[in-house]
Structure 1
């Protein structure tokens, strides 16, 4: 097993939950300390407070991965006699780095919202609202038959022609290419001033739009012609679709009251609030960790019978009633499901890399609310 530093751990993490998925302005990434030190233990937590820092010190963890950013708004000063300042001071004194993954972890496939959906038994899920995607691009290039195999190979090496679990996908058709080199040309085939005909292949490959510069560079490097002839077509088909929240179906229909009990049991919360007729039938379910007030219309548009989310506002609850959308609010803290999920997934990924690292699940309860029954 290999010793690793924080940069290597975060590199593994960001392949699963890349920063580019986060909402604009979301303060993700390294908050305290540095990542270029050796890391032996990582503490995974929902929130960062002084108790969590004390837990990290006790467990001898030198990196904390949190869901909620501990420094959400820019600091003008760090006074170490304030709770936040004291927390920062402790981290620095004990060489503990703190890294936050917020909306990028919400959106990532297998991230917080997928964890919540899995816990509720929701299947065939899709995002409540798309946040990013890219179109496929088709390249059609004309090449002498004698050079077609090599060009296909180079395009594939640049990432073109990868479809699902298949690579090197392409389509070819044969024809005759005609051209006349003029003064200043340095033709691979033919002579200046002489009309030329060549047996050619039309090679078609598709690739994500983000790979276009790399694919075009490979095309010009590998193509035998001085002036390759090619077309680019932006396709309607999207790939790498990501979004916030999840909506899918339950295996069995139940009433809203039964479903609320199911949510309460699934997330082990002492109490919850719900909006809607208790006898309403529930089959299609939307779930969004944290504050989902902005997404009631999107959830209804997706055909959801109910939205499971936290921090529900009074007037938003009334709006949901008007839309005919039930809402179940088990609180913001159900996102603590990420503690086990992140620790388990990162442990698996790092084991595959032969990294000598231990992931610890925080046991500190960061739920600020208490309930009176």
Structure 2
């Protein structure tokens, strides 16, 4: 049996500390070490983090001979596969990673659910208040804390206008724009203030719909899901899918993983991909 390279072993261990896989929704998600290269690049001592493992991100990692591990928040291999061919873009990326000696790990919904994870970052942008979890993670244990699960809801200590909330979100995520659907009670001249916000990073409808809040904040929802929320009296803020996740990955996850390496005395570095970006642009 081949021996797993220290960079891979230690990165997997560190990520499982930061986002235990028991918190992931494995009823549909695919998390953990998804691609393990049988040999690792000779100079490998660096981990690259990305939201999505695209061809552009792969080319960037191949150009840096020190990258031996990629953490792709979204799993590049999602559904079961029966072949690995270069004709399929996702399979081709996996094959090229293996050939180059680069392993790939995905935390996805484990990082959404963990306390201090992506959804806690997103809810923090809305203002101070009492935060609860919308859907507890079935695999959570007592040590994971009360917030371990999918989505968050905050009751703000100081209510804000919908316009001010949008500005806070844009500043916090580094965005120039977002999409907004305004419920009738937030349209009037004397519109009601926003007291409660429910958030879910990425595609949040399965977690948010049916929950009570003045505003839903997520990456994407379908036309009819937005209509249903607005008709129920909830305004909707959409930032595009990966825009709700990227800032946390660039800042908090990079710092946290570097800290674990340093605490353990492991001489590895962590970088965020310069090629990773949301595929949708406003033109």
TM class by smaller structure: 0.7 to 0.9
Q: Show the counterpart of 1:5.
A: 7
Q: Does 1:355 align with 2:266?
A: yes
Count of aligned positions: 267
Q: Which residue of structure 1 aligns with residue 32 of structure 2? A: 29
Task: State the Cα distance separating 1:270 from its structure 2 match.
Answer: 3.2
| Deviates further, 71-80 or 27-36 | 27-36
Divergent runs of 4+, >4 A = 35-39, 238-241
Map 1:76-87 onto structure 2 (within 5 A): 76-87=82-93
SS at 1:245's partner residue? strand
Q: For 1:305, which of 184, 196, 214 is the aligned residue? A: 214
CA 1:241–1:272: 2 relative to 1, 3 Å = closer
1:254 maps to 160
**Conservation of the 8 A alpha-carbon contact between 2:126 and 2:165:** no
Alignment of 1:125 onto 2:34: no
- Write 1 or 2 for the structure with the bigger share of strand: 1
Instruction: Determine if the alignment matches structure 1 residue 280 to structure 2 residue 189.
Output: no
Larger Rg: 1
Aligned CA distance change for structure 1 residues 68 and 122 (closer, same or farther; 3 Å): farther
Shift, 1:49, TM fit: 0.7
Task: Identify which of 125, 150, 157 aligns with 1:244.
Answer: 150
Alignment CA distance shift 1:36-1:12 (3 Å) = farther
In 1, the alpha carbon distance for the partners of 2:28 and 2:173 equals 30
- Per the normalisation by structure 1, the TM-score is 0.65
Q: Any gaps of 5 or more consecutive residues in structure 2? A: none
Partner of 2:67, secondary structure, is coil
CA distance in 1, matches of 2:125, 2:69: 27
C-alpha contact (below 8 Å) 2:35/2:103 kept by paired residues: yes
Q: Does the 8 Å contact 1:4/1:357 carry over to 2?
A: no
TM-score by length of 2: 0.85
Residue in 2 aligned with 1:150?
none
CA RMSD of aligned residues (A): 2.5
Q: For the residues of structure 2 that align with 1:62 and 1:133, how far apart are their CA atoms?
A: 31
User: Which residue is equivalent to 1:200?
Assistant: none
Q: Return the alpha-carbon distance in structure 2 between the equivalents of residues 5 and 295 of structure 1.
A: 35
Q: Which runs of 5+ in 1 are unaligned?
A: 136-207, 211-237
